[in-house]
Amino acid sequence: MSKSSPTFSCASCGAVYRKWAGRCDSCGEWNTISEQAPLSKGPGSKTLSQRGKTIPLTDLAHEEAPPPRIASGMEEFDRVLGGGLVPASAILVGGDPGIGKSTLLLQAAASFAQNGAKVLYISGEEASAQVRLRAQRLGLGEAPVKLGTETALRDILTTLDEEAPDLAIIDSIQTMWLDTVEAAPGSVSQVRAAAHELVTFAKRKAVSVIIVGHVTKEGQIAGPRVVEHMVDTVIYFEGERGHQFRILRSVKNRFGPAAEIGVFEMTGQGLAEVSNPSALFLSSRDAPAPGSVVFAGIEGTRPVLTEIQALVSPAPPGSPRRTVVGLDSGRLSTILAVLEARCGIPFTGLDVYLNVAGGMRIAEPAADLAVAAALLSAREDVSIPPDMVFFGEISLSGALRPVSQTENRLKEAQKLGFSQAVVPSRSRLGDAEGMQIKTMTDLISVVGDMFGA
Ligand code: TYD
Ligand code: MG
């Protein structure tokens, strides 16, 4: 291999640089850039006859239909994959250390195996006795999953070649190493090269691979973002510390809807699926209090109701606090600015705390109206009726814009016993029979109607 001039790359996001720098321009992290060894050519390159050959796109239509997806039987997991595992696909499962990735994948492995798939679980982090112990604790001691504890990728690929499983789980990519790369396991070059080999292998031998990656803050260990672009599906397992809930979220999926979520609860016997997340997120609701509002949201293909809580208190002199958990802080600033400029309700001199209960993270602009209602309710000290839901986008002019899937949101709310909704006018309501619906054109009418300001 010719040794060309060295390149440098960021361990956090994988951005490539010609020279070293202290801070990554791409993701803003400090001390994450280090020198990178070149990618190995590996056995993945095509044979001479295939090289550069093209086929007309229309020919693809004559090929046989794609093989059916393999379902694990763990509904929340299958949902996030887009309805099951696509054969020969590469999936990245990222998440903080200790969040429950190994637990989830061991359970998924057992589920797949019990459904008849041939599954190999390869742990580079734990000894086989430890994995077996965990499996027993999860009640999966009898599952027909084959277990390997290996970190040399070359050996792993040989094993996979011999065993020809339907699915191989690699836990974790940061422990794997290739002899052709002169760098420590976990470095950007190793992680990238190992993932590249695994993905190439998956496509060539029709073995699906699930690659586990720890999210890290340290510059020495490459994070999962480095391999995001190589795989078909990227899933993150997230959750707030101190909360039992875990959310599996797809952020990229070549074979299904992105932004789909699966909800789990960490119990003493592993992860339990939560098939009705709305009921769960609302189950811990306190008695109606000012600042608490229920938002009827959509996560992926499914409606999910969550409680948004706001607290407003006098701020000491200086710049007031804006603390947000589970929502984008930029969105909060925008809504505060619209409330001040369009409705004449300032939050100057007031600290604002905003929180999505239950550890959910909401990215939909449809949450705007619920956020504004929570802020107004907290500021004016007016409780919202406990059987009322909100959704709608707020534009900079203060107008309310209809959002997608109005009917589904209302149906879910009704199913959970809500009987009132505040939504933007021009929303397609469908047949929300028995629900009392207020349609509003702009934020100022919401203020006038509900908060008497
Ligand atoms: P783990 O799957 O090892 O996390 P990761 O692979 O993402 O690093 O999960 C570790 C945590 O999960 C640990 O703090 C203990 C907890 N846990 C339970 O609460 N119940 C269980 O049944 C299991 C197996 C783990
Ligand atoms: Mg683990």
Query: Does ligand 1 have an atom closer than 6 angstroms to the CB of 100?
Result: yes
**Could you tell me the pLDDT band of residue 452, with boundaries at 50, 70 and 90?**
confident
Ligand 1 atom nearest to 171, measured from its CA: 6
| Average pLDDT of the segment spanning 380-405 | 95
Range of lowest pLDDT (20-29, 145-154, 368-377): 20-29
Query: Does ligand 1 have an atom closer than 6 angstroms to the CB of 101?
Result: yes
Query: Does ligand 1 have an atom closer than 6 angstroms to the CB of 97?
Result: yes
Average per-residue pLDDT for the chain:
88
243-276: pLDDT as tens digits: 788 999 999 999 888 888 999 999 989 999 998 8
Query: Does ligand 1 have an atom closer than 6 angstroms to the CB of 98?
Result: yes
pLDDT value of residue 50: 58
Query: Does ligand 1 have an atom closer than 6 angstroms to the CB of 67?
Result: no
pLDDT value of residue 366: 97
pLDDT value of residue 403: 96
Residue 287 has pLDDT above 70, yes or no: yes
Tell me the ligand closest to 107's alpha carbon. 1
Query: Does ligand 1 have an atom closer than 6 angstroms to the CB of 210?
Result: no
Residue 96, annotated ligand binder?
yes
> Are 306 and 277 spatial neighbours (Cβ–Cβ below 8 Å)?
no
Query: Does ligand 1 have an atom closer than 6 angstroms to the CB of 94?
Result: no
Tell me the ligand closest to 103's alpha carbon. 1
Task: Find, among 81, 133, 137, the residue nearest to 112 by Cα.
Answer: 81
Residue 102, annotated ligand binder?
yes
| 34 or 116, which is more confident | 116
Residue 427, annotated ligand binder?
no
Query: Does ligand 1 have an atom closer than 6 angstroms to the CB of 213?
Result: no
Residue 288, annotated ligand binder?
no
Pocket test for ligand 1, best of 266, 269, 271 (most atoms within 8 A of CB): 266
Q: Residue 356 C-alpha to ligand 1 middle, in angstroms? A: 24
CA angle at residue 191 from 120 to 33, to 5 degrees? 160
ipTM: 0.96
| Average pLDDT of the segment spanning 173-195 | 92
> What's the one-letter identity of residue 371?
V
Ligand 1 atom nearest to 97, measured from its CA: 8
Q: Residue 206 C-alpha to ligand 2 middle, in angstroms? A: 25
User: What pTM does this model have?
Assistant: 0.80
